[in-house]
Amino acid sequence: MFLRILGFIISGIISLVIYFEISNVNFSSDEPNKDRLLVDLVSYVLDKLHYDPQIINDDFSIKVYDDFIDAVDSQKRFLLKSDIELFSQFRLSIDDQINSSDIAFFNIVYETLITRIDEVESFYSEILEDPFNFQINEEINLDYENLDYASNLAELKRIWRKRLKLSALDGYASKKEIKDQEEVISEEEIEIESRTAISENLKDFFQFNSELERSDWFSLYLNSIVTQFDPHTSYLAPEAKEVFDQNISGKFQGIGARLFKRNQQVEISEIIIGGPVWRDNLLNVGDIIIAVAQSADEEPTEISLMKLTDATDLIKGEKGTNVFLTIKRVDGGIEQVEITRDIVELEETYAKSSIIKDDSNVYGLINLPRFYVDFNDYGERNAASDIKKEILELKNKNINGLILDLRNNGGGSLKTVVDITGFFIEKGPVVQVKSIGGRKEILKDNDPSIIWDGPLVILVNEFSASASEILAAALQDYNRAIILGSKQTYGKGTVQNVVDLNNVISGNTYGDLGSLKITTDKFYRVNGGSTQLEGVKSDLIFPNRYSYIDIGEKDLENPLSWDKIDPARYDNSVKVFNYAQAISNSKERIGQNEYFTIIDQHAKLIKSKQDDKTISLNYNSYKEDQAEFKLQTDKLKVIEDFNSPYLFEWNDSNLDVNTSYNDDMKEKRDRWIKSLQKDIYVNEAMNLLKDLLSFEGNDILSQININ
């Protein structure tokens, strides 16, 4: 096997692109079926290149079986108990089929599913012919995981009736609220409109479904196999690979948000810095997009039943055009949001800084959304050179302390992480990388110079991942910074390679075979511990709206395990700041701060709402539940009254003298500064910096291994 490494980056979706050719491999170019060939190729590459190859046995077979059935019908809307009984004969033999390139299990599931979908298509309109009575007491259980499959088509119809009634109730409640204000149409007409809208949406769904090809379903099957190795290993069909490449490029034309589909719901997974959603603060991570319309007058199209790519096609569009999204918020509220599409410029992912003042001192804050780099020319603008420039400019302003904000930073270039860490330590190891076959490499900062040796606070949250975790972990291990934020960071300590399957075999006659994103490396702190699963534990924990929600690597299926290796040789003996006293003071402030108390209460409310899977289909009960929840969430609005006593100013050094900044850029700049002024977490980071200055040099010997 011959390997040529073309690039190396780590990120929320980490990508190390590898091109390779395989010689003397027994793959027949006369393979009669492309699907069987793909099973062969994928299993071969996984066995040869995955960091932790799995034994494909009966246990593996059971997991693939369960995951594929869940992938094709997670809400149990199509398949019957008899179908599951038929499929169960394969539960212990999928491993044998993989090893022999047999796809009998996929074939029978695929053929049965298509039949069941056709049957549902034939009866849903019958259900929608009769008005829904929202006055009777009736409930629906949405705990899909623990629900049984329908015994027969009659029971399946009853299940669909309740689910369609819930969809109609959502629409009825929102339309009736408008009607109560405007008195335009009757309640009967509102109910008819709600059913009609559902009918139109289902027509669209079944139309989209009819356009799906066998290969789309087979991609689901392949991913049910490869994700048993770990959650970040995945098969990328040609179309999916194009989307993946666009995401890596960092330039988007649309609303400026990344989406993913879970439990047949389209969810916001990331807000792109600089995009229209970010600029106007319209959506949040965790919000669910229910429906999409291209104008205010158009009936929204429900997207939960669509392919994610089809849903994305409806949402994205040319700069300057509008899209109307029906959103279900993390807290349960439903509203329509109008977004003007735009181009998301890479410029907005660059580092930027603010000057912060109080009565006696000046401080600095640097926000780093990504660890960006141009692999074609590292001398061009990259995260490390920009951070260095920002620090030097802030030092020229005579700052007394520095905050590095890594919240929502999903990762990026490993080299920039090593360089940035070196700005704060004299020299030494930064991260350990363990690769296939147990090979270990220690990446070091060899520059003895220190750019910033003053007080340093790092802000993180549950979405600080990968490269962010490496930087935070290294500076924590060197006792060089205090980490503030969520209980822990995301916990992704692995690297993926993207393998073009078309380069694995010669003589391919089946067209584009797609690619395989595969985990090949694992990261370790200099103290020997992995960042996998555990992430970086914050020295000081802030309550936030996600505190009680399962977010992170540990909450995914089949993550690689946490482990440790021998620590690298590093010197963390120099103790300059009294971290222990500063942290103690901060904990006391947080405990007494009414805003943090409200945030924690709201986080518990969100968790309880998510855990409640039973919903009333009675309009009055439904509205009472919504009103009670709104009453509770409205209490959170008091946080909007918070205003930091510190003065935040845009650092003029952020402006490139060769760049003309228009009004839009100025608006983005001013909006960021305003957000800092209202940011209670930044405010507490500032309090911590002030304490570090006050305690500097005191009780130095107490600072040993506070991690």
Per the CB < 8 A criterion, the answer to whether 530 and 559 are in contact is no
For 201, the enclosing helix (H) or strand (E) is: helix 187-211
- What are the structure tokens assigned to 288, written together? 């669910």
Which of residues 181 and 493 earns the better pLDDT score? 493
Q: 219 and 265 share a domain?
A: no
- What are the structure tokens assigned to 194, written together? 């709600």
Range of lowest pLDDT (354-363, 611-620, 623-632): 623-632
- Read off the pLDDT of each residue in 444-452 and give the average, rounded to a whole number: 95
* 616 pLDDT higher than 60: yes
Residues 6+ apart with CB under 8 A from 213: none
Q: Which of 431, 444, 354, 519 is nearest to 16 (CA)?
A: 519
pLDDT of residue 1: 27
Task: Tell me phi and psi for residue 344, to 5 degrees.
Answer: -90, 110
Q: 330 and 316 share a domain?
A: yes
Average of per-residue pLDDT values in the chain? 85
400 within some domain? yes
In angstroms, the CA 673 to CA 679 distance is: 10
User: Cα Rg for the chain, rounded, in angstroms?
Assistant: 27
Select from 278, 312, 344 the last residue of a domain.
Answer: 344
CA angle, 511 as apex, 506 and 513 as ends, to 5°?
A: 75
**Residue 600 burial by Cβ neighbours in a 10 Å radius (0-12, 13-18, 19+):** middle
Q: 434 and 328 share a domain?
A: no
- Identify how many contiguous H helices and E strands the chain contains and give both numbers: 19, 24
Q: Which of 520, 250, 547, 509 is nearest to 370 (CA)?
A: 250
Task: Sort strands 139-141 and 614-616 into parallel, antiparallel or unpaired.
Answer: antiparallel
pLDDT of residue 641: 86
Question: Helices 414-422 and 467-477, interaxial angle, to 10°?
Answer: 30
442 within some domain? yes
Q: 188 and 173 share a domain?
A: yes
- Where does the pLDDT of residue 403 fall: very low under 50, low under 70, confident under 90, or very high at 90 and above? very high
- Where does the pLDDT of residue 664 fall: very low under 50, low under 70, confident under 90, or very high at 90 and above? low
Range of the domain at 331: 252-344
- Where does the pLDDT of residue 375 fall: very low under 50, low under 70, confident under 90, or very high at 90 and above? low
706 within some domain? no
The helix/strand/coil state of 270 is: strand
- Read off the pLDDT of each residue in 372-382 and give the average, rounded to a whole number: 65
Task: Tell me phi and psi for residue 616, to 5 degrees.
Answer: -75, 140
Q: 326 and 355 share a domain?
A: no
What single letter denotes the amino acid at residue 282? L
- What are the structure tokens assigned to 293, written together? 């319309």
pLDDT of residue 497: 79
Q: 154 and 218 share a domain?
A: yes
- What are the structure tokens assigned to 37, written together? 């060939």
403 within some domain? yes
663 within some domain? yes
Per-residue 3-state assignment (H helix, E strand, C coil) for 343-386: EECHHHHCCEEEEEECCCCEEEEEECCCECCCCCCCCCCCHHHH
pLDDT of residue 696: 59
Which of residues 382 and 533 earns the better pLDDT score? 533
Q: What is the pLDDT of residues 460-501, one digit of tens each?
A: 999 999 999 999 999 999 999 999 999 999 999 998 878 999
Share of residues in the chain with pLDDT > 70 (%): 86
Q: Read off the CATH number of the domain in which 647 is found.
A: 3.90.226.10
Report how far apart, in Å, the C-alpha atoms of 337 and of each of 201, 286, 295, 325, 631 are: 19, 15, 11, 5, 21
Most trustworthy range by pLDDT among 95-109, 300-314, 605-619, 620-634 = 95-109
Q: 268 and 206 share a domain?
A: no
Q: 92 and 220 share a domain?
A: yes
- Read off the pLDDT of each residue in 163-174 and give the average, rounded to a whole number: 88
Per the CB < 8 A criterion, the answer to whether 233 and 516 are in contact is yes
Range of lowest pLDDT (63-67, 157-161, 204-208): 204-208
- Where does the pLDDT of residue 247 fall: very low under 50, low under 70, confident under 90, or very high at 90 and above? very low
Q: Which of 490, 481, 484 is nearest to 452 (CA)?
A: 481
Residues 6+ apart with CB under 8 A from 652: none
Select from 344, 364, 379 the last residue of a domain.
Answer: 344
pLDDT of residue 644: 95
pLDDT of residue 703: 38
Per the CB < 8 A criterion, the answer to whether 41 and 513 are in contact is yes
- What are the structure tokens assigned to 449, written together? 């110079």
Which of residues 287 and 345 earns the better pLDDT score? 287
- H helices of 537-635, in order, are 579-592, 594-611, 619-634
pLDDT of residue 80: 98
Q: 215 and 89 share a domain?
A: yes
682 within some domain? yes
* 637 pLDDT higher than 50: yes
pLDDT of residue 184: 60
Q: Which of 534, 525, 551 is nearest to 492 (CA)?
A: 534
In angstroms, the CA 21 to CA 48 distance is: 13
Residues paired with residue 254 on neighbouring β-strands, in sequence order:
342
Q: 328 and 467 share a domain?
A: no
- What are the structure tokens assigned to 89, written together? 């004969």
Q: 191 and 326 share a domain?
A: no
For 196, the enclosing helix (H) or strand (E) is: helix 187-211
* 250 pLDDT higher than 90: no
Q: Please count the structural domains in the chain.
A: 3
Q: Which of 410, 411, 392, 412 is nearest to 402 (CA)?
A: 392
In angstroms, the CA 624 to CA 445 distance is: 60
587 within some domain? no
Range of lowest pLDDT (190-194, 314-318, 338-342, 504-508): 504-508
- Where does the pLDDT of residue 50 fall: very low under 50, low under 70, confident under 90, or very high at 90 and above? very high
Size of the chain, expressed as the number of residues it contains: 707
- Where does the pLDDT of residue 376 fall: very low under 50, low under 70, confident under 90, or very high at 90 and above? low
pLDDT of residue 162: 94
Q: Which of 402, 426, 406 is nearest to 417 (CA)?
A: 406
285 within some domain? yes
- Where does the pLDDT of residue 361 fall: very low under 50, low under 70, confident under 90, or very high at 90 and above? very high
Select from 321, 344, 367 the last residue of a domain.
Answer: 344
Q: What is the pLDDT of residues 204-231, one digit of tens each?
A: 788 778 878 898 899 999 999 999 999 9
In angstroms, the CA 53 to CA 607 distance is: 36
Q: Read off the CATH number of the domain in which 312 is found.
A: 2.30.42.10
Q: 160 and 195 share a domain?
A: yes
